[in-house]
Amino acid sequence: MVQNKLTSIWKKIWDTMGVWLICILLFVVMSVSTNKFFDAGNLINIIRQIATIGVVALGATFVVMSGEIDLSQGGFVCLCGCLCAHMIMKMGINMYLAILITILLSALTMALVGVVVSLLHVPSFIATLGMQYVLAGLVLLLTNSQPISGLPTAFTNIARGYVLGETIPVAGLILFVAILIGAFVIKYTTFGRSIVIVGENRQAANLSGISVPLIKIAAFAVAGGCSALGGIILAARLGSGQPSSGSDVSLMALAAVYVGGASKGSVFNTLAGTLIIGMINNGLNLIGVSPAWKNIILGLIIIVAVVLDIFRSRKSNT
Amino acid sequence: MENKSNIFLELKGVSKEFPGVKALKDVSFSINKGEVHALIGGNGAGKSTLMKILSGAYTKNSGQIIVEGVETEIGHPSAAEALGITIIYQELNLVQSLSIAENIFIGRHPKTKSGTVDWRTMNREAARLLKEFRIDLAPQTTVKSISIAQQQMVEIIKAVSKNAKLVIMDEPTSSLTTKEIDVLFQMIRTLKTKGVAVVFISHRLDEIFEISDRITIMRDGTYVATRDIDKITRSELISLMIGREMSQQFPERVSATGSELMRAENISDGVLLDNISFTLHEGEVLGFAGLVGAGRTELMHTIFGSRKKRSGSLYLHGKEVSIRSPKQSIRNGIGFVTEDRKREGLALNLSLRENVCMVAIQKVLTYGLISRKKETESSGEYIDTLGIVTPSAEQKAMFLSGGNQQKVVLSKWLMSNADIIIMDEPTRGIDVGAKREIYEVINQLVAQKKGIIVVSSEFDEVMGICDRIIVMCEGHITGILSKKDFSQEKIAALAVGEGV
């Protein structure tokens, strides 16, 4: 009986916290296996790298929870970074205003994609894949394939700066606050609850008075806003709007969401997924794995994560 | 010894546990070759769990399953199939776009010498099977163009063609018309003559007494009794099922209807519904009777705004309202307990608490934010008042039994304080005891001057609980009966469009 109770408690912990345990385990393994990993400089570097992925993954979590998928986030990350840089450097717009406009424009554009998906019934997979190409074209038009460099320190500090002396990187703080807000929205607002219900059973949601199209459009808009924020952090880290940046962000963000266990639908688990992906990425860099192999490994991780996710939700169904 | 060889399948002390729930406790009984064995039991009696164990969808935690004298483990659906055990679920498993013959021989098409599909042999074999069961359909017909009843028959034929020795039917008659049920029973009798055992799960006593040889009663996950059908009476059966004497199937209620609550005028959808007009009063239970396909469910969806309306108008409290979505309906005080609770009513992966608060989420907000405390209180209130059996409000809806799931759906609408609640087949697939509880809730609601619309295919149910009955046939209203005119014969005649 006691044995039984222990296993059920363990099961509960594993179900809700499993990803965090993997995350901690990975951290310990990496720290022990290479002396370059557990180093203040490297850890801060990881945080800067994952800030973009994490913020983008947060947006992806909203979309995945509502039962759709967004493949255009990488495109938005790139375009928004360049657009923001363009507004600051070429148009002389105030930096904060430029950031705000970028985020709003991106959210609005994704809302339109949401309209196409939920009202015109185009599968989100196709709509966002198409959008990805549109965005790639827009980036070339905007930048002429040239990086927009020379961004002011105030801007680059978004990714490179610290708060409280030399301890907390700004990018990490932005990610942390964004995750907290996201988790709060899902757990405590009617919008968040509606997303969860729509994702679980859209017919029941509709018959319970939830406007399914509106909720999906809003979820896409959140993803758009998050992608823009991710793009801005990336541009700040690179010190310029790079027309070739962001290509792997979509994949990494989705990997983070699925490693976190999308079917359980938790924003905090997405953060754990992001940390895992960030550490693996960093570890592969440290041991000098070539970019080709890195892509192969990340691609496989996303597939395995989805397989495990399906396996887990199937197990809880029987 | 003689007797032993006649047994196809024997269960000894079979148990199954889910997290927090003991679904089956020490169940033992046997099924003979070539018999129709009815299985009956209330909510959470464990029938579905047991059948899923036999078909390999679940694995038992303990006990023995003995098939034709040999102890076996059924770890996978393919293992069940190899033993000759087939289950026919309420949701049929046919490929809609393929033909009857292709469905029967799916995965094992006869082949020609060169390895391609031998269409001629396949269609000939399918035609022979259809003829054997006296079903007048061409084997080339696509499955999506035949009725649900006919699809069920194709499933049965498919099972037989795979040499099934035991066919389990999970509420096979729930969506069939009387005539279709006759055809099904004819098929079951043919199966018997071939020595195939049939396990027949149903809540309809008439059918059980008509078709079965023996009956096994289960209650709360335990085995209660097995009897020969000619050695048990209805009241004995019911009291074995619910574990106490049943006083009366339908609770008493003094009918007291007030002023007009809702009036529908000339509602048409351009497809099926044609000029439907009716009124619903305060404190009234209005029944909608008819056969499957009469358009009752479609009418309710049209009124509720979840289906497009071509023309017609709706008045609430004498004022015309325009309702184009469920959201507007809910705002106007209409609730809708839909026919299919799993597909349309519940988010099965979410907790009972989240399901109960799905509609009236506004009521559990504090400063505009969801309060877990208020949610738990509200759902706890309905767990108590409706007697929902669950370990806690955090239990996932999928782990609740059918009757308890239905009570959760009902709670959603009770919490929304709707004035008008439409209930589409509110007692389908739930046991006598839980049915009575649902009727009692309906009585409480009308006592509070609410108006209730009940759509039901069971004539005795609408007669037992309604003040008036509207009968529909093929998208038309064929009659409106007031209480003094209620009779099974009248409803049945109107339902087939006669006696208008």
pLDDT (mean) for B363-387: 92
Q: What is the mean pLDDT of residues B457-479?
A: 89
If you ran DSSP here, which 8-state letter would residue B344 be given? I
Strand B476-482 relative to strand B7-18: parallel, antiparallel, unpaired? unpaired
pLDDT-based confidence at residue A317 (cuts at 50, 70, 90): very low
How far is Cα B352 from Cα B357, in angstroms, rounded to an integer?
9
Domain assignment of residue A149, yes or no: yes
Tokens linked to A15: 């179900």
Q: What is the pLDDT of residue B36?
A: 95
Residues making up chain B, counted from first to last: 500
Name the more confident of B93 and B390: B390
With bands split at pLDDT 50, 70 and 90, how would you rate the model's confidence at B1?
very low
Segment holding B473, helix H or strand E: strand B468-473
Using one digit for the tens of pLDDT, what is the confidence trace for B376-393?
Answer: 999 999 999 888 988 899
Using the beta-carbon criterion (under 8 Å), do A190 and B345 form an inter-chain contact? no
Contact A187 B370 (CB under 8 A): yes
Which of A188, A193, A207 comes nearest B338 by C-beta? Answer: A207
Out of B140-154, B167-181, B413-427, give the one with best mean pLDDT: B413-427
The residues with which A225 forms a beta bridge, in sequence order, are: none
Where is the domain boundary, B212, B242, B272? B242
Judge if B265 and B236 occupy the same domain.
Answer: no
Contact A200 B350 (CB under 8 A): yes
A190 within a domain of the structure (yes/no): yes
Tokens of B486: 């209620």
Question: Is the pLDDT at B42 greater than 70, yes or no?
Answer: no
Residue B252: inside a domain, yes or no?
A: no
Interface of A with B (CB under 8 A): 8, 11, 187-190, 193, 196-197, 200-201, 203-211, 263, 313, 316-318
Q: Is the pLDDT of residue B108 over 50?
A: yes
- What's the number of domains chain B is made of? 2
pLDDT at A202 over 50: yes
| C-alpha distances in Å from residue B275, one per residue of B121, B156, B265, B269, B329 | 50, 39, 7, 9, 21
Structural domain harbouring A130: 38-246
Which of B242, B268, B300 is the last residue before a domain boundary? B242
Distance CA B158, CA B86 (A): 10
- Domain of B341, in residue numbers: 260-495
- Nearest-angstrom CA–CA distance, A188 and B408: 22
> Residue B45: pLDDT above 80?
no
Q: Which pLDDT belongs to residue B360?
A: 92
% residues pLDDT > 70 (chain B)? 96
pLDDT tens, B248-292? Answer: 578 878 777 889 999 999 999 988 899 999 999 999 999 999 877
pLDDT digits (tens, 9 = 90+) for A261-293: 765 668 888 999 999 999 988 888 888 888 888
Question: Which residue out of B17, B327, B375 would a mutagenesis test of the A interface target, given it has the greatest number of A Cβ atoms within 10 Å?
Answer: B327
Q: Global pTM?
A: 0.75
Q: Is B265 found in the same domain as B234?
A: no
Q: How far is CA B95 from the centre of its chain?
A: 22
Same domain, B352 and B234: no
ipTM value for the complex: 0.86
How many beta carbons lie within 10 A of that of residue B110, not counting itself? 14
* Predicted pLDDT of residue A304: 86
Of A187, A204, A209, the CB nearest to B327: A209
Which pLDDT tens digit goes with each residue over B300-337? 999 999 999 899 999 999 999 999 999 999 999 999 99
Q: Please tell me the predicted confidence (pLDDT) of residue B315.
A: 95
Which pLDDT value is given to residue B359?
94
Q: Which residues contact B91 (CB under 8 A, 6 or more apart)?
A: none
Yes or no, beta carbons of A211 and B19 under 8 Å apart: no
Q: Tell me which residue of B234, B237, B235, B200 sits closest to B217, measured CA to CA.
A: B237
Report pLDDT for A87: 95
**Residue A208, in any domain of the structure:** yes
Q: Do residues B238 and B300 share a domain?
A: no
Partners of A65 on chain B (C-beta within 8 Å) are none
